[in-house]
Amino acid sequence: MTFEITSKEIKVTAPMREKLAMKYAKLERFNIPMINPHVTITKDKNCIKKLEASIHLPQGQLLAVSEGEDLYAAITILGQKLERQLNKYSDKHAAHSSGKEQCRAGVISGEELPDEKVSDDELEVAEY
């Protein structure tokens, strides 16, 4: 997976790039197309590193922010946040689309549907 890394104050080294690539590779197991993933690394006055990640999805966007003095620990936390959000996104999508056939069949409502068809002769017409 290709992703962009933007950093102004901190030089992006090969181990940092590998750690981010490993975290993004872990997100690929959800089989959701990720469009234009981007990571921004900044540094505050107090040497606190801040990572911001954004991933565009077919039906939304994931945003995660992580801060810490140790950049590699912040990368790990950022990966966990993105994984949690992507898991929630995939479960929501599955929950909205599942159960429609069961609902139509009456399984979810608890009603038992008759197995045999009733002919028009057997129906009683109520007069008002």
The predicted-structure confidence for 73-127, as pLDDT tens digits, reads as follows 999 999 999 999 999 988 876 666 666 666 666 666 556 655 666 666 666 766 7
Percent of the chain clearing pLDDT 90 (strictly above): 55
49-57 sheet: strands from edge to edge = 4-7, 35-43, 49-57, 60-68
Percentage of residues in the chain having pLDDT higher than 70: 73
79 contacts 39 by C-beta, under 8 angstroms: no
Q: What per-residue confidence (pLDDT) applies to 25? A: 92
Mean model confidence pLDDT for the chain: 85
3-state helix, strand, coil in the chain (%, to 5): 40, 25, 35
More confident residue, 100 or 72: 72
Q: Band the pLDDT of 14: cuts 50, 70, 90.
A: very high
Instruction: Identify the three-state secondary structure at position 64.
Output: strand
- The DSSP element (H or E) to which 67 belongs, if any, is strand 60-68
Give 68's pLDDT tier (boundaries 50, 70, 90).
very high
pLDDT at 8: 87
Q: Is the CB of residue 62 less than 8 Å from the CB of residue 92?
A: no
* All structural domains of the chain: 4-105 (3.30.160.100)
Asked if the model's pLDDT at residue 128 lies above 60, the reply is yes
Q: Which pLDDT value is given to residue 106?
A: 63
